[in-house]
Structure 1
Amino acid sequence: MFTTILLPSDFSGCSAEAARAARRLAECFGSRLIVLHVLDEPAALDPMFRGEVPLELLRGRMEQYAREGMEAFLKAHFEGYSGVETRMASGVPYREIVREARECGAGLIVIGTHGRTGVERVIFGSTAEKVVRMAPCPVLSVREGGKGKEFIHP
């Protein structure tokens, strides 16, 4: 049913919940699974957030964190699954997720729903909400804490 499943991840607990759901779906459907991590450059590159840290140093640290995070995430959630690929992107997360879904021909996006809360969420909205609105394919949003994953059976 889904030849390609896109799993955006920030390596958080909520992304781990989404990874479990994505893997089970991929195994059920024999899908190729693409794990995408987006370096959120717009926020990180703003001088207000980075202070006096040189831009090149910050970008290098972000990329190193992303490589290490992806390696650990794959080991924790996809060991033994041969149909997984990884992608890295830089930019505004929801835009990069939607772009990647179009480029890879994703039949489904599985995304964790956590993220911004309070005032920040009111001002900016959530990445998951924006992906749901703009995605070229169905989106399965997964909440942290195990709620809503009962639909997947072994």
Structure 2
Amino acid sequence: MSDKEYNKILIATDGSENAKKAARSGVKIAALSGAKVIALYVVEMESVGITPETVHRDYLASMKMAVSEHMTREQWSEFARLADDMWKCERHRHLEEKGSDVTGYVKDLCEKLGAEVEIRIEEGHPANVILDVAEKENVDLLVIGTLGKTADGRFNLGSVAEKVIRNSPAELLVVR
């Protein structure tokens, strides 16, 4: 089959229920068309300032470091910097593990339906990374989920989905 409508399908996922529904739809299309799936999860690291609140959030850092009750401003700044770095490393590790689990779901679907799959875990702002990968990989179809319905039953389009929809270089399948 040399005239495939879809050769490469990018499935961007965050592990949410809508993303799983989108993944199921995207993988079915890939299996039917013989397309390769790129399963993408984006690690988004928020910038964190060195504040007392940051230090208090990092229980592990607090337990690992002996902190005297009376620290100088310089000691506090160094402690906060170290705790902030530890928090960032731990958060990054956690998000990469989540990315492996989430893309593993797409991989399992692909294996069940006989679709080829490539797993990608990238770092950055989700919408920007999704659009960059779609363009660089020259995908034919980009599949994403939305945030779904609000408590009052209205359809709510997430900011990542909205930016991707407005700027996609490829056809889109948006699943809610």
Residue 70 of structure 2 is matched in structure 1 by none
Displacement after TM superposition at 1:112 (Å): 0.4
Distance verdict in 2 for CA 1:38–1:117, change over 3 Å: farther
Query: TM-score under structure 1 normalisation?
Result: 0.76
Query: TM-score under structure 2 normalisation?
Result: 0.67
Post-superposition CA distance 1:72-117 (Å, at most 9, x none): 4433x22333411110111100000000001111011011011797
1-side partners of 2:106 and 2:33: how far apart? 22
Mapped pair 1:65 → 2:86: no
Residue 54 of structure 2 is matched in structure 1 by 51
For structure 1, the 5+ residue unaligned runs are: 119-124, 144-154
Which aligned pairs between 1:74-93 and structure 2 lie closer than 5 A? 74-75=107-108, 77-80=109-112, 81-93=114-126
Distance verdict in 2 for CA 1:97–1:115, change over 3 Å: farther
Residue 36 of structure 1 is matched in structure 2 by 40
Please list every run of at least 4 consecutive aligned residues from structure 1 whose deviation after the TM superposition is greater than 6 angstroms: 115-118
Q: Return the match for 2:139 from 106, 114, 125.
A: 106
Letter in 2 for 1:16: K
Query: Is the partner of 1:36 in helix, strand or coil?
Result: strand
Q: Return the match for 1:17 from 17, 21, 31.
A: 21
2-side partners of 1:116 and 1:98: how far apart? 24
Contact 2:27 2:115 in 1 (8 A): no
1-side partners of 2:149 and 2:130: how far apart? 17
For structure 2, the 5+ residue unaligned runs are: 59-86, 152-157
Name the larger-Rg structure.
Answer: 2
Give the CA RMSD over aligned residues.
2.4
Mapped pair 1:133 → 2:133: no
Q: How many residues align?
A: 133
